[in-house]
Chain A
């Protein structure tokens, strides 16, 4: 390939990628959170249509306050469209005690936390972008119960 065409090709590719990054949104992050939820739907979890989302810098955390009911079992699934990001989600009670089950997990741009509430109350779901190549990383959190 002619070097001028090659350069143009590379620049065009970079532009397309930059465009994709610019248009990526919380909705994209939500679709990844939903992918993480999919196997649990087959296990009888009802996934709520509603979700939380936003963008955070690497190392930044945010809390989501959520009313949970004793008797139900909940999973919270988090996702981001940034493939090389590492994210996490954890569940604490009002007193700041970690209450999630040991099968909660995180893997790259997916994370999930499982809780069987010991009491009906509000709980804190702490979401974090642990690492990311992006300045700001979109995230979304969905939840399901059964």
Chain B
């Protein structure tokens, strides 16, 4: 995406014009949000987005959460898609930990999984870029390449009319991100850390998507469906804070699911 910036010679001119003549936006202070049609797809936050917020609450020993051991290979495409999202999330954790060998290994693992699911061609340049950026310890570049990797995988899946698999990639990443978020907050509980779990609409979104995948009748998908039902009341607390107990329960649930995602 950033390449667009580099290739747009006239971007600087346009932006200068914008900067010189910008107007403050005026908008109603209050609206009825229900009156608007919504864009169907929700952009699921990247694990790096929640980790960025978590980092601001205090130091986190990210090295403790880095995982590089190879998980199983699966013949079922939905399982591979979930695992792919999970491994990309591991990449974001390795970036937080600034662990170059782990990042490189994860980059190769992502490539293998993407090939297994028929979208390897779109990932090869990103895997190379991840390795190069990790060698140079350019963590922002690695983070950006991980984002591009996930996006390319999902676009390639969408082009193959595999939108459902694409959604499973997002779900796999979100589950691993939530597991790590709850592990960190569970260790040093703060109300602010627990508040990062307040994502009831995302849970609704994932539940709705999974309900539309009856053909993916694999045990791990069933487990996730049940788990989302368990987790939802724990994070949908209205204005009340999310309790330490709830954080621990969500960590137990997501750890159990993670084990199902990565092992045969």
Binding site for B on A (CB under 8 A): 30-31, 34-36, 38-39, 41, 46-52, 54, 61-67, 69-72, 88-90, 92, 94-98, 100, 102, 104-108, 110-111, 113, 119-122, 124, 126, 142-143, 145-146
Which residues of chain B come closer than 8 Å to A52, judged between CB atoms? 39, 41, 43
Q: Which of B186-228 contact A (CB under 8 A)?
A: 192, 195-202
Write the chain B residue with the least CB distance to A44.
B140
A97 to B38, CA, bound (A): 17
Question: For the complex, is B254 an interface residue (Cβ under 8 Å from A)?
Answer: no
Q: Are B52 and A120 in contact (CB under 8 A)?
A: no
Which residues of chain B come closer than 8 Å to A64, judged between CB atoms? 38-39, 43
Contacting chain A: which of B21-29, B67-75, B111-119? B21-29
Q: Given that A48-B46, A65-B38 are contacting pairs, would A34 and B4 also be in contact in the complex, using a CB cutoff of 8 Å?
A: yes
Write the chain A residue with the least CB distance to B140.
A46
Q: List 22 A-B contacts (CB under 8 A).
A: A35-B5, A35-B15, A38-B15, A46-B48, A46-B52, A46-B143, A49-B148, A63-B37, A63-B38, A64-B38, A67-B44, A69-B53, A70-B192, A71-B56, A71-B196, A72-B52, A96-B33, A98-B29, A98-B30, A106-B22, A107-B18, A124-B33
A48 to B197, CA, bound (A): 21
A30 to B54, CA, bound (A): 30
Write the chain B residue with the least CB distance to A71.
B53
Number of interface residues, chain B, beta carbon within 8 A: 56
CB distance from A36 to the nearest CB of B (A): 7
Interface of A is mostly: strand
New A-B pairs, 4, CB < 8 Å, besides A65-B38, A67-B202, A120-B53:
A31-B8, A47-B2, A66-B43, A90-B25
Q: Are B27 and A35 in contact (CB under 8 A)?
A: no
Q: Are B36 and A124 in contact (CB under 8 A)?
A: yes
